[in-house]
């Protein structure tokens, strides 16, 4: 410990507050660690938001889905015994305007209880539930594609519907997964009017439950009771598995890119440290002449490099934390949720560890080289460097 204390005392005296000679090390670690911290924190923040908003994204605490049929009375009774139920149907259809223009849509029929969580909001600010049987709410993409607005008429199947508004926020949109076309929302009675539900029609029925109980045992009991009925279940902690997988894989890919960039930056770190130690040859020679061992010299400059690396890593971590809400503001429209300011210990610790390992790996060789060179060779190198610059050195060299 005494050796390290002496080494730190010598390192602190020589180390400049402006980090002269080590700014490249500081900059490389700041950028590399900052990028890794931002990527990891962003992925963690999005994952946390998806988990926290699971019941809103799913549309309930628990979802039961089945294809090409509705729930029969015993199944529906079992659901209602567990909590409040909302029923929806989804199917592919074609929207037809009065002038004959068409567009494929995802026709979604909802009941009066929809949505159990969240709010269905229209572009004019209205918060609505189920539309009237002759009314349809359409997404902005469908309105722009067919050039229709509120009050116009669209036909689905054999039934005409009046456009009652443009959807601004569909709370369970992310939980619905992939759709072939923009959404159009009608009532359960409106879907019956279309005549699209016939034997053999391709549609999916979903039943969302709002329950104060743990949904996992409810789902397990339901699956065991109706094991051969073709039901698929999801709980609020798996509200959007596709989005969660996409975010996780994108975070892994970007982390790999950031780590590769940090390794490449390590080459610059090594060159910068070599130049820094080369400029300290006279100081190292003086320490050697005064009796410093190679180990003490290595400790002195290792502590200097660790101090600068620590500052660079700390600044990079702070930049990564601040970058998450800024990214959310700039590209929030393409993200599944809006991440806010968050401190994720795991990604931050991983980014700091990567930065420290890169610093040690690329600084080790010049440190060992500086510590092993004898004092006489160092002094000789200093004298040669001083005498080689002038015309007398050229004549007498």
DSSP labels for 188-252? Answer: HHHHHHHT---TT--EEEEEEEE-SS-HHHHHHHHHHHTTTTT-EEEEGGGS-HHHHHHHHHHHH
Contacts of 334 (CB under 8 A, 6+ apart): none
Residue 379 and residue 352 in one domain: yes
Whether 330 maps to a domain, the answer reads: yes
Locate 55 and state its tokens.
């019941």
| DSSP state letter for 157 | T
Residue 266 and residue 353 in one domain: yes
Residue 46 and residue 61 in one domain: no
- pTM check: above 0.85: no
Residue 119 and residue 266 in one domain: no
In our burial notation (b when 16+ CB lie closer than 10 A, e otherwise), range 243-264 reads bbeebeeebeebbeebbeebbe
Residue 179 and residue 273 in one domain: no
pLDDT of 386 reads: 46
pLDDT of 352 reads: 92
Which stretches of the chain drop beneath a pLDDT of 50?
Answer: 383, 385-397
Residue 233 and residue 92 in one domain: yes
Whether 397 maps to a domain, the answer reads: no
β-partners of residue 94 are 104
Which among 192, 207, 187, 191 is positioned nearest to 70, based on CA atoms?
207
Residue 120 and residue 253 in one domain: no
User: Which of 203, 238, 273 is the last residue in one of the domains?
Assistant: 238
Residue 67 and residue 110 in one domain: yes
User: Which of 196, 221, 238 is the last residue in one of the domains?
Assistant: 238
Work out the angle between the directed axes of helices 23-52 and 345-372 (0-180°, nearest 10).
Answer: 160
Whether 393 maps to a domain, the answer reads: no
Domain that holds residue 88: 57-238
Contacts of 385 (CB under 8 A, 6+ apart): 281
Residue 268 and residue 163 in one domain: no
Residue 233 and residue 102 in one domain: yes
pLDDT of 71 reads: 94
User: Which of 199, 215, 238 is the last residue in one of the domains?
Assistant: 238
Strand (E) or helix (H) holding 145? helix 140-146
pLDDT of 114 reads: 93
Whether 394 maps to a domain, the answer reads: no
Whether 392 maps to a domain, the answer reads: no
CA 161 from centre of chain: 40
Q: For the chain, what is the domain count? A: 2
Residue 248 and residue 377 in one domain: yes
Whether 88 maps to a domain, the answer reads: yes
Residue 95 and residue 24 in one domain: no
């Amino acid at each position: 410990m005494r050796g390290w204390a002496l080494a730190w005392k010598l390192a602190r005296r020589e180390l400049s507050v402006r980090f002269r000679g080590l700014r490249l090390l500081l900059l490389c670690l700041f950028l590399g660690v900052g990028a890794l911290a931002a990527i990891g924190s962003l992925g963690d923040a999005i994952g946390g938001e998806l988990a926290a908003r699971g019941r809103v994204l799913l549309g309930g605490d628990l979802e039961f889905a089945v294809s090409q049929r509705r729930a029969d009375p015993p199944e529906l009774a079992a659901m209602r015994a567990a909590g409040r139920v909302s029923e929806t149907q989804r199917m592919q259809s074609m929207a037809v305007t009065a002038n004959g223009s068409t567009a494929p849509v995802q026709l979604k029929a909802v009941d009066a209880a929809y949505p159990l969580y969240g709010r269905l909001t229209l572009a004019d600010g209205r918060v609505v539930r189920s539309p009237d049987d002759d009314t349809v709410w359409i997404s902005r993409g469908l309105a722009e594609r067919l050039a229709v607005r509120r009050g116009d008429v669209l036909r689905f199947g054999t039934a005409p519907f009046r456009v009652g508004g443009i959807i601004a926020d569909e709370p369970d949109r992310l939980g619905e997964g992939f759709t072939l076309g923009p959404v159009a929302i009608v009532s359960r009675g409106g879907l019956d009017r279309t005549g699209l539900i016939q034997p053999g029609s391709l549609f999916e029925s979903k039943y969302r439950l709002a329950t104060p109980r743990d949904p996992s045992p409810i789902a397990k009991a339901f699956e065991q009771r109706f094991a051969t009925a073709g039901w698929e279940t999801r709980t609020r902690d798996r509200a959007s598995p596709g989005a969660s997988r996409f975010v996780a894989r994108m975070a892994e890919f970007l982390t790999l890119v950031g780590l590769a960039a940090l390794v490449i930056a390590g080459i610059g770190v090594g060159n910068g440290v070599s130049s820094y130690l080369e400029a300290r040859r006279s100081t190292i020679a003086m320490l050697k002449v005064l009796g410093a061992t190679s180990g003490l010299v290595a400790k002195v400059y290792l502590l200097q490099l660790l101090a600068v690396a620590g500052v660079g890593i700390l600044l990079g971590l702070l930049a990564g934390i601040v970058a998450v809400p800024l990214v959310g503001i700039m590209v929030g429209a393409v993200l599944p949720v809006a991440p806010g300011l968050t401190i994720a210990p795991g990604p931050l610790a991983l980014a700091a560890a990567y930065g420290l390992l890169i610093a040690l790996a690329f600084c080790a060789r010049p440190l060992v080289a500086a510590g092993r060179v004898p004092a006489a060779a160092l002094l000789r190198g200093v004298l040669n460097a001083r005498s080689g610059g002038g015309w007398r050195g050229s004549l007498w060299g």
